Structure formats: structure tokens, C-alpha cells
Chains A and B, each alone.
Chain A
Amino acid sequence: MERGKNFYATSKGIVVVGAVIGLLAPLLQKFGNPGNMGICVACFERDIAGALGLHRADLVQYLRPEILGFVLGSFMASSLFGEFKPRGGSAPLARFMLGLCAMIGALVFLGCPWRVLLRLAGGDGNALFGLAGLIAGVFAGTLFFRAGYNLGRTTKQTYGLGLLMPLIIVGFLALRIVFPQIPGEPKSGVLFYSLKGPGSQYAPLAISLGVGLFVGIIAQRSRFCIMGAFRDLILFRHWHLLSGALALFAAAWVTNILLGQFHPGFVGEPVAHTSEFWNFSGMFVAGLAFALAGGCPGRQLFLSGEGDGDAAVFVLGMITGAAVAHNFGLASSPAGIGPHGAAGVMVTLAICIYVGFTNLRMTEN
């Protein structure tokens, strides 16, 4: 389809997209998703890792349809508007490791950049430290960019290869439809389900998938990215993406108040712990990893739906990171950080810095 001006990429468009996501996320919570977790890309990919049995933390196992919708919505929008471009080959291993590190950092904090804003909008003061960590991590990433950091150029790939990630997602969706949860049972066919905890809290399939598809479409059109919001402000003084992030926060805050979901405080907030230092540090690592990889976890899903194989590798790195985080005791819980969470933050920080320093090169022109 030949397009005219893309409304969603305008200043008004990005604000509308942010506000719509900010409205839909608390509604998903109302329909059953966990507290301040209407949408959380990191948490939901962690739940998917659990549903597939890659980790066996029995509180966080559910094949979240929102994530599937994000990729498929982006695939549909990019195909319709001539933006589906199979590409890849830009340092895939580095991107896999950045995805893995990002997930471990996010699970020390307990949330992705979207959930940082959603937790704040639900009144969770602990997320202030996560927000500060995210901004500081992205800032550290911009220092690498200023020094010439670059993961190299992508090359065009075949249509079939670009289709691979959407097809994997279709396969996941088929599993979710064929093996729905059996009440009281921890397993249905090959899929694991949670009987309590966040993994047991979910909106009905049609609502989750519908919202996921819709968000996938509008986010692909608008290039919505919360990491990019801070990066572009720091690097270029551009407010464009940040205006979308601010709209998400404002809309989620108002919606939470209207739905009676706004509970300001620090203690007893849903799926959160109160360690200021580790909330900051976890999100610092995640922010640095997202910056070095060129997108927040949501954006990586949308890019993977557009045929970007490197973004797909990042997503698979995140899912693997979730498995590592839970199997090795790195992930936090409301009781505090995991037994090896501190080591996890240090090792992943070292990996991010290694990737940063080993990819300082001047781009050839």
C-alpha cells in the first residue's frame, strides 16, 4: 500500500499512541492481569519462559497472548504499509547477550521500562528508583554512542527468513489455543500454568490477544519506544518519543484513579520490592542493555514483527535471560532480591560494558 503522511509518526500521533497504551494497560489489569502489570514486556516474556518450562518458578508461568499480539500486530501493520523488511546480521550474538542481560536487570527491578511507568502510575514509589536507574543506564549507553559504538550494518534477508519470527509466534499462539488452562491443573499438554501468583492472573485470551494486536499495530506505525524516549532526549534533545512516554504515564495514572487502582506508597505494592539500590541497579543494567541494542523490549518485539532478525534474537535472548534469572536465583520477588541477584547485576553489567567497549568503531561512510 502506498502511504500518505504517517499520522502516527507525528507529534500528535505519538501522544495519542502513548495515551491509548496508557489507557489499555490498566484496563487489562482490571480484566485480570497482575497489579501494575497490565502490560510488562519483561514480566510477560518471563511468564512465557515459564509456560514453556524453560524455568520452573511455579508462580510465573503463562503464555501471555499480549506478547504474541505485539509481534503479529506489527507484522500485519508493516506488511500492509510496505514496511516489512527482512534484515539481519548485525552482531546477533552481542544482541542475544544484551537481551539476556536486559532481562536479568529487569527481573532484579521487576519490570520493563513500560512497567516502570505503569508502576509509577499505580502509585508504586519504588519505581522512582527504577526510573532513575533506567535513565542513568540509557545515559551510560549514549556515552558509548558518542564514543563511536555501533553494532554494524544489517544486510537484507529473504522473505522467508523475515517471516520466521512471526511464524514462531503463530506456533506459540497455536499452543495457547490447543492447550488452555485446565482449572486446578499446573499443566495442560506441553504448557505449564501457575495456580497462584502473577502467572495465575490474566485477562481472557480474546481481550489479551486483541489488545496485543492493536498495540502492535499502533506501536509499529508510531515507532513507540520508552528507551528511545530518554535516549533521544539525552543524545539529540528530541522530545518526540518522550512525549509518547509521558502520555502513557498520564493516561495510565488517570485510568488507575478512575478504576480505583491507584494506591500510593512504597510497602506492599504489587509485584515489587523496596530495595532502593537494587531497584536502581537492576534498571541501570537493563537501560544500558536496551540502549546498546537500540530499543526497549517492546520496540524489539515490534521490530521483530517487521522482519528484523536481530531484534528477534534480542527477544530470544530475553526469554533465555528469564530462564537463567529464575534457575540461578537472580530474579527478585516481593520479599527482596534473589539469593544471587547482586552477582547477576554485576556480571550482566560487566557483559554490557564489554559489548560496549568492543564495538567502538567509526562508521565507514
Chain B
Amino acid sequence: MIEKVDARGLSCPQPVLLTLSKMKEIGTGEIEVIVDNETSRENVNRAAGSQGWEITSVRKESDEYHLILRRE
């Protein structure tokens, strides 16, 4: 099952902290990160890149971004 990080309504650095903590917890696999602003999307993008996770999809739903991060 895909792991979820719900960072809606949180300001920086919380979305990145939560995402990094989830990455550390599961090591490999898939994480869906939900953010509700462009800045958090950029920050999670950057954090994923620096940790060797790939962004496999970004889905925009009204004001929210659903990012799928994957590491084999």
C-alpha cells in the first residue's frame, strides 16, 4: 500500500520534514505527498531529488498537489 504524507495547511519546513521522515521510515517504495501550495511542492521536489527519490507523477486537484515519490 502506498504511504501517505498529508502536508496540507502546513508551512515550511513541515512538509519537507514530514516527507524526509517518511522516506527514512520506509527506506524504499512509494509515498504520496499532498501539499496545497506551490512553495511546498517545489520544496518537496527538491528534497526528493536530494535523497535519490524520483517524482513519478504530480496530479493537481483544485488547490492541491498530489506528488508520487518512488525509490526502488
Contact = CB atoms under 8 A, between A and B. Distances in A.
B50 interface: yes
Q: Which secondary structure dominates where chain A touches chain B?
A: loop
Nearest to B38: A83
B9 A83 contact: no
A162 B27 CA distance: 40
Contacts of B39: 223
B63 A365 contact: no
Given A145-B13, A294-B11, A363-B14, A236 B50 contact: yes
A145 B9 contact: no
Contacts, number: 56
A128 to B, nearest CB: 26
B47 to A, nearest CB: 7
A150 interface: yes
B42 A365 contact: no
A308 B9 CA distance: 11
Nearest to A9: B42
Instruction: Specify which of B11, B14, B17 lies most central, judged by the most chain A CB atoms within 10 Å of its CB.
Output: B11
A90 to B, nearest CB: 7
Interface string A300-314: 000000001010000
Contacts of A310: 11
Interface string A82-97: 0101010010000000
Interface residues of B, number: 23
Contact of B11 (A9, A83, A90, A156): A90
Interface size, A (range)? 20 to 34
A360 interface: no
B37 A363 contact: no
Interface in B25-51: 36-39, 42, 46-47, 50
A357 to B, nearest CB: 18
Contact of A83 (B18, B20, B37): B37
A81 B4 CA distance: 28
Given A90-B11, A150-B10, A223-B42, A363 B18 contact: yes
B5 A145 contact: no
A87 B5 contact: no
A155 B47 contact: no
Interface string A196-229: 0000000000000000000000000001000010
A228 B12 contact: yes
A232 interface: yes
Which of A6, A153, A235 gathers the greatest number of chain B CB atoms within 10 Å? A153
Given A150-B14, A156-B63, 10 more contacts: A85-B36, A87-B9, A154-B11, A228-B12, A236-B13, A236-B20, A238-B46, A294-B11, A363-B10, A363-B18
Interface of A: 6, 9, 81, 83, 85, 87, 90, 145, 150-151, 153-156, 223, 228, 231-232, 235-238, 240, 294-295, 308, 310, 363, 365
Interface of B: 4-6, 8-14, 16-18, 20, 36-39, 42, 46-47, 50, 63
21 contacts: A6-B38, A81-B38, A85-B37, A85-B63, A87-B9, A90-B11, A145-B13, A145-B17, A153-B8, A153-B9, A156-B63, A223-B39, A228-B12, A236-B13, A236-B16, A236-B50, A237-B50, A238-B46, A294-B12, A363-B14, A365-B18
Nearest 10 Cβ contacts at the A-B interface: A153-B9, A154-B9, A294-B11, A9-B42, A223-B39, A83-B38, A365-B6, A153-B10, A235-B13, A150-B14
